[in-house]
Amino acid sequence: MHSTGSKAKKSLPWLITLLPLLSTTTGWAETKLDTSPALELSYATEKGEFYQLQSKKGADWSNVGHAVKGTGAPFKGLYPSADYRVISPSKEWVLVWADEFNGNALDLTKWAKEENNYGGGNNERQAYRTDAKYCSVKDGNLNLSVFRDPHTTNDGKTQPYSSVRIRTLKRGDWTYGRFEVRAIMPKGQGIWPAVWMLPTDSKYGGWAAGGEIDIIESRGSAVHETTGALHFGGAWPKNTYLSHSYKFPKLDASEAFHVYALEWSADAIKWFVDGKLCQTRTKEEWFSEAAKENPHAPFDQAFHLIINVAVDGGFFKDTTQRADALPPTDFPQTLQIDYIRVYQWAD
C-alpha cells in the first residue's frame, strides 16, 4: 500500500506454520505444512503527521495498532492478508501507546522494574524489589503491592517494607500528549501510590531542574482526594513546585476505579478526574533556572512514565499517618490499574 485509502496488494513469501509431526515405525514422517499469506504494507509519510492503519471487517473499518507519527521516510510493516487503508487523523487525540494489562505478566518491552533500597530521596521506608509478588498482572489489571517484608541489602541497609516501582525509561517517552490512567487506590495510612513522569535525558540539569510531572498522588488513608503537582526551577535544593488537590464528590479513590488524565502542551498542563477539569497550570507559572529565556522549559522535552507505591516519607510530614499503625491483616496494600493510554494531538 502506497497511498491513503489504497488497498494493500503486495504479497510476501508465504508464512509457514509447522503442524505436529507424525511418528511412524521408521521414525519421523513427512507432514503437510499449513501456510497463510502475508502482506507488506508501505506508505509515504510526512514528518510530524500522524497515520492510522485500518483494516476492513464487513462494511466497517477498524484501527490496527496505534497511530504512527511520520518521519519523512516510508512506513513499512508485515500484516496478515486483509483489506487495508491508512488515514491521516486531524484535530483529534490519537492513541500512540497503551498498556491494557490483558496478559499474565508485566510487559517488559514497555516497562522495567527498579531495584532500590534507599528511600527515594524522601525518607521513604520501602525497598523496591523485582519479585513477581510485588508486581502482578491478573484479570486485566496491573497490581502493584506493598508487603510488610523487611529487606536488607549487602551494605546493611534495611527497609521494613517491600514494594515495586516500574518505568518506561528507554522503552517509551513523549513530548506533550494526553496521559490517561484508570485506577483504584490503596487505603492504608502511610501508603503513597503515584503515577508520574521524569525527563528521559534531563537537558536542564538534575532533579528538579529538569522538571517532574505528577499525574496522580494519593496520600494513604486520605483517599477522599487526589493530588497532582509540577516540580521545576533549579536543581535541589533550589527547586520549587506547584500542587493541587481534588476531592471526589461521591465514591473515593479506594472505593471505585476513577479515570485520571493529564493533558500536556507547550503552553499549559491540565489535570482531569473522570472527565472533569481539576487544575490548569500555564507556562507563566513555571520556569527553568538553566533556561530562563525559554518560557516552555523545562516541560518541553521527552518525559517517561513511572508508577510506584511508596511507604511513609516526606509526603506525610504534616500528618500523623504512619504505615506501622496498620494491622498485619491490612497487607498487601495494592494499587490496581486497569489501563494506561497515551495520546498525542493530530493537527
Residues known to be catalytic = 212, 217
Is 205 a domain residue? yes
Q: 310 φ, ψ to 5°?
A: -95, 175
Is 183 found in the same domain as 262? yes
Determine the pLDDT at residue 7. 34
Is 323 a domain residue? yes
Is 40 a domain residue? yes
Is 173 found in the same domain as 148? yes
Q: Which grid cell is 140?
A: 486485566
Residue 320 belongs to domain spanning: 98-346
Is 228 found in the same domain as 165? yes
3-state class (DSSP) for residue 107: coil
What distances in angstroms separate CA 290 from CA 144, 269, 287, one per listed residue?
A: 36, 20, 9
Q: Domain tally for the chain?
A: 2
Q: Which of 64, 89, 114 is the last residue of a domain?
A: 89
Report strand pairing: 258-264 vs 177-184: antiparallel
Is 113 found in the same domain as 62? no
Contact 288, 239 (CB under 8 A): no
Is 8 a domain residue? no
Residue 316 belongs to domain with CATH number: 2.60.120.200
- pLDDT tens string 133-160: 999 999 999 999 999 999 999 999 999 9
- pLDDT tens string 170-205: 999 999 999 999 999 999 999 999 999 999 999 999
Is 167 found in the same domain as 269? yes
Contact 326, 189 (CB under 8 A): yes
Is 9 a domain residue? no
Is 105 found in the same domain as 83? no
By CB atoms closer than 10 A (0-12, 13-18, 19+), residue 55 is: middle
293-310 as b/e: b if 16+ CB within 10 A:
eeeebbbbbebbbbbbbb
Determine the pLDDT at residue 29. 56
Is 163 found in the same domain as 288? yes
Mean pLDDT over residues 79-83, rounded?
92
Is 137 found in the same domain as 75? no
Residue 37 binned pLDDT confidence (cut-offs 50, 70, 90): confident
Residues 6+ apart with CB under 8 A from 139: none
Q: Which of 39, 71, 89 is the last residue of a domain?
A: 89
Is 326 a domain residue? yes
Terminal-to-terminal C-alpha distance of the chain:
24
Query: What torsion do the CA atoms of 118, 124, 126, 127 make, to the nearest 10 degrees?
Result: -10
